[in-house]
């Protein structure tokens, strides 16, 4: 199956980033890694360094914690694949910067629909966990669920990674119910 826009979902340490990277590396020689995380502390700096080492050669890395739509518009083109890792951190950055999640999601979806080059987006699947205790946590979980739904809608394919194994969610096989 060919897809130009792919959303890869999964829980923490599910293997979603590794799967998305393999998918991107199988696609084209020119690759851009669009990182949304920032080295805000030592642990995050070490995590970013580890991710860089895990990527083989041939990647150009661009860090963009907030202006994701603009970065995609400038980096995506035919013959070049862009891997965005990850939407969860990007949404967190947006909310902490006081931006409206619905507006940011709408802008991102609009850009994704007009891109000429292929893109793979990575996002956490948070909806199966516990209800967060605080309002900020609940607001984030709700905004994140809406983000994943909207991005999934504009993507050609959606893959859920569980225990390192992919399950294709979109396109879905046709299902019908037989009335007996």
Q: Measured over all CA atoms, what is the biggest interatomic distance in the chain, rounded to whole angstroms?
A: 62
Distance of alpha carbon 91 from alpha carbon 93, whole angstroms: 5
144 in Cβ contact with 11 (< 8 Å): no
Give the position of tokens 């970013």: 48
Model confidence pLDDT, tens digit, residues 125-160:
988 877 888 999 999 999 999 999 999 999 999 999
51 is catalytic: yes
Report DSSP state, residue 85. E
Distance of alpha carbon 159 from alpha carbon 9, whole angstroms: 6
- Give the pair of three-digit tokens for residue 112: 């994704």
Domain assignment present for residue 137? The answer is yes
Model confidence pLDDT, tens digit, residues 26-85:
877 799 999 998 777 788 777 777 777 776 678 999 999 999 999 999 999 999 999 999
* CATH number of the domain residue 145 falls in: 3.40.50.300
Q: How many domains would you assign to the chain?
A: 1
Structural domain containing residue 30: 5-170
Which strand (E) or helix (H) includes residue 170?
Answer: strand 165-170
- Give the pair of three-digit tokens for residue 29: 């020689």
Which has more confidence, 37 or 165?
165
* pTM of the shown model: 0.91
Report the range of poorest mean pLDDT among 5-14, 24-33, 90-99, 142-151. Answer: 24-33
Domain assignment present for residue 155? The answer is yes
Q: Which residues pair with 83 in a beta bridge?
A: 33, 120
* Bond prior to 127 in cis (omega within 30° of 0): no
Active-site option among 25, 51, 55, 150: 51
111 in Cβ contact with 64 (< 8 Å): no
Give the position of tokens 């860090």: 63
Domain assignment present for residue 109? The answer is yes
Domain assignment present for residue 176? The answer is no
Distance of alpha carbon 16 from alpha carbon 165, whole angstroms: 9
Domain assignment present for residue 34? The answer is yes
118 in Cβ contact with 70 (< 8 Å): no
Give the position of tokens 């900020």: 136
State the DSSP string of 48-77: HHHHHHHS-SSEEEEE-SS-HHHHHHHH-B
């Amino acid at each position: 199956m060919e897809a130009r826009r792919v959303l890869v979902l999964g829980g923490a340490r599910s293997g979603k980033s590794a799967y998305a990277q393999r998918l991107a590396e199988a696609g084209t020689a020119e690759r851009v890694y669009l990182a949304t995380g920032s080295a805000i502390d030592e642990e995050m700096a070490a995590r970013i360094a580890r991710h860089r080492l895990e990527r083989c050669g041939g990647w150009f890395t661009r860090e963009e914690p907030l202006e994701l739509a603009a970065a995609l518009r400038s980096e995506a083109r035919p013959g070049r694949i862009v891997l965005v890792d990850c939407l969860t951190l990007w949404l967190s950055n947006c909310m902490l910067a006081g931006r409206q999640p619905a507006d940011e999601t709408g802008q991102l979806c609009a850009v994704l629909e007009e891109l000429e080059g292929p893109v793979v987006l990575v996002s956490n699947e948070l909806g199966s966990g516990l209800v967060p205790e605080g309002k900020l946590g609940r607001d984030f979980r709700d905004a994140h669920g809406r983000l994943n739904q909207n991005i999934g809608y504009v993507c050609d394919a959606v893959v859920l990674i569980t225990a390192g194994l992919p399950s294709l969610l979109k396109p879905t096989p046709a299902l019908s119910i037989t009335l007996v």
